[in-house]
Amino acid sequence: MTNNTGRTPVAANQGSGVFDDLEDNLGRLDAKLTEALTVSVDSTSESLTSAQMQANACFILNTGSPAPGGPVTLTVAAVEIGRFTVVNNTSQTVTVTISGQVVTAPTVASGSTQTFISDGVNVRAAVSAPSTGTAFELVVAASDETTTLTTGTAKVTFRMPRAVTLTAVRASLTTASSSGVVTVDINEGGVSILSTAITIDANEKTSTTAATPPVISDSSLADDAEMTIDIDTAGTGAKGLKVALIGTRS
C-alpha cells in the first residue's frame, strides 16, 4: 500500500529499528553541532582523527607537558565536515591543514579563535566580513528640503558610529544656488577636518563638479567623535543640503 506521497509506509514491525536509527543519527548531529574536544598539545605536530572530526564542532588546544617548542601544525582528517572551530590556548601559532593540502593552509594565532571549513581536500578559513578595511559611507542632512540655506556653524551635530579613515567627502543640494557658491565645512570635536572646504558651484547640485575640490587634512575620525557641519557661504536660494563621508572602517 502507498500513501499520497508515493512512499511505502513503514511496516509495524519495522518501525522500532527505523526510529532507533533516526534517533542515533539525530544524536550524532546534535553532538557535531555542539560538542567540543579538548586537545593537549605537547609537540609541534598534532592530528585529529576522522571520528574526532565527525563528532565535534570545536577543538580546544591547550598547552601540554612538555609544551610545544615552536609553531604547531594541526593535521585534520581528510573528511568533508564543513565548519569547525579551533580555540588556540597555546603560546604558539597553529597551522590547520589536511595531508596533501593544495592551497596555503590557514593559521590561528596564539590566544585566538578561528572557524575553518574542510571540504576533504583543503582547509580554509571561514569567510567573514572584516571589521576593518570595509567600505564606509555616511550621508547626513544639514538642512531640511524646503528652507533656503543660511550661513552658520554647527548646522547639524552628530556622532561617528565607528572609527573611520576618510578617503573622500562630498555635498549635494536638492535645489541649486542661482548665484554664488555654497561652501561647507566639516568639524571633528570643533576642529575642521578640511584644509579646503567643500564647494558646490552656482547652478550645480553636487560638489563632484566643483571647480575647486575639497582637501581632507584630518582623515582619521574617531569612534563616537562629535561631528558638526558648518555652512560658510550659502549661495542664493539653495536648499536641501546633504554631506557624505566616504572611507573605510578603521
What residue spans define the domains of the chain? Answer: 15-125, 135-249
80: Cα separation from own chain's centroid:
26
CATH fit for domain 15-125, picks 2.60.120, 2.20.25, 2.40.50, 2.30.130: 2.60.120
Asked if residues 63 and 89 have their Cβ atoms less than 8 Å apart, the reply is yes
- State pTM to two decimals: 0.52
Q: What is the DSSP letter of 207?
A: G
Can you list the alpha helix ranges (DSSP code H) found in the chain? 15-34, 50-55
CA atoms of 149 and 134, how far apart (whole Å): 34
Q: What is the pLDDT along the chain (250 residues), one digit of tens a residue?
A: 344 445 455 455 554 554 555 555 544 445 444 578 899 999 999 999 988 888 888 899 999 999 999 999 999 988 767 788 999 999 999 999 998 888 899 999 999 988 998 888 899 988 655 556 688 899 999 999 999 999 999 999 999 999 999 999 999 999 999 999 999 999 999 999 999 999 999 999 999 999 999 999 999 999 999 999 999 999 999 999 999 999 998 8
Beta strands 36-41; 58-63: pairing state: parallel
Architecture of domain 135-249: Sandwich (2.60)
